[in-house]
Amino acid sequence: MINFTLKHFRYFDALARIGHFGRAAEACSISQPALSVQIKELETMLGSPLVERNARQIRLTTLGEEFLVRARRVLNEVEEMSELARKPDGPLRGKLRMGIIPTVAPYLLPEIIRNLSVALPELELRPRESITESLLADLMNTQLDFVIAALPVSEPSLREFALFDEEFVLIRPSDEADQPVPEPERLQEMKLLLLEEGHCFRDQALSFCDIKKSDPSLLMEGSSLATLVQMVDAGLGLTLIPEMAVPLETKGTTVSISRFENTKPKRTIGMVWRKTNPLEKQLMGLGATIRQLGQAQRDKFAA
């Protein structure tokens, strides 16, 4: 009889997701040799390699791909059982794994952590910042309990809970402050700065400006909203940012901040969790709290 353990499954899942022994070991809070030993034990029990090893990254063998599907199925079931062990009618407590997108995290996450540490002192919030696609994949694989992202995500297995809407604002060099706010179609003709591929905020901005994803020839890219605003301050072009980001990202700059007058671009920020999560009632209560915090952050700009 083969004596698989959950530790084997978790370590192999981490290695498959990250694709590198060193980084996977770090994610699992163990040493690289210890992780290698666990994977080698698995391969010995199965009688065949699970991964192809090279200096830069690993690749799963055919057996590895098949084994990963089954291992994740077991981990998902174990996680669901762990969630059932929490009291569904009591306050949230223990570890709660949260995903949050980069265009929300710097402006809302500190307030969430500060408030929840007081309101729910027995809750151990574990946030992770990444792009929407990665967060949703981890949510569906039970690596996260809920995600804060732009809605809709349109995934049938997930519940969406709207938190708040926020407008996008136009950031221009200071010498353009007195100029009229351009219509969306005119932005195509200007030096528009946007986030790099993978960010949902980039796609929303492209849609507002009616620019096709496959034709970004007029665009310049940045890795963060902070980078985009600094590029505008240096006179390299203009950009759109969510209103929540304005107080932090424009502090110390001389950029011009303008709202659109007619067609107002906006997005809906919400929470997403698995429909099978037995803590749905508590997550909705948590969402109501985060909704108030989000509104307060947006009001800072309005003031």
Residue 268 is assigned to a structural domain of this protein: yes
**What's the pLDDT score for residue 99?**
96
**What's the pLDDT score for residue 193?**
85
* Domain match, 127 and 70 both: no
CATH of residue 180's domain is 3.40.190.290
Distance CA 105, CA 290 (A): 12
Distance CA 133, CA 124 (A): 25
pLDDT at 135 over 80: yes
**What's the pLDDT score for residue 127?**
94
**What's the pLDDT score for residue 146?**
95
Distance CA 194, CA 229 (A): 10
**What's the pLDDT score for residue 120?**
85
**What's the pLDDT score for residue 203?**
77
What percentage of the chain has pLDDT greater than the value 90? 34
Strands 58-60 and 146-151: unpaired
**What's the pLDDT score for residue 264?**
84
Q: Picking from 10-24, 29-43, 71-85, 149-163, which range would have the lowest pLDDT averaged per residue?
A: 71-85
pLDDT in tens, 168-207: 899 999 988 888 888 777 776 778 888 876 677 777 777 7
- Higher pLDDT pick, 167 / 2: 167
**What's the pLDDT score for residue 179?**
87
Among the candidates 84, 111, 145, a domain finishes at 84
In a 10 Å sphere around its CB, with 0-12 CB exposed, 13-18 middle and 19+ buried, how is residue 154 labelled? exposed
* Domain match, 59 and 108 both: no
Residue 89 is assigned to a structural domain of this protein: no
Bridge partners of residue 171, in order along the sequence: 239, 257
Q: Domain residues for 67?
A: 6-84
Q: What is the mean pLDDT of residues 121-127?
A: 89
Please, what is the average pLDDT of the chain? 85
pLDDT in tens, 136-155: 989 988 889 999 999 999 89
- Give how many domains the chain has, as a whole number: 2
What percentage of the chain has pLDDT greater than the value 70? 89
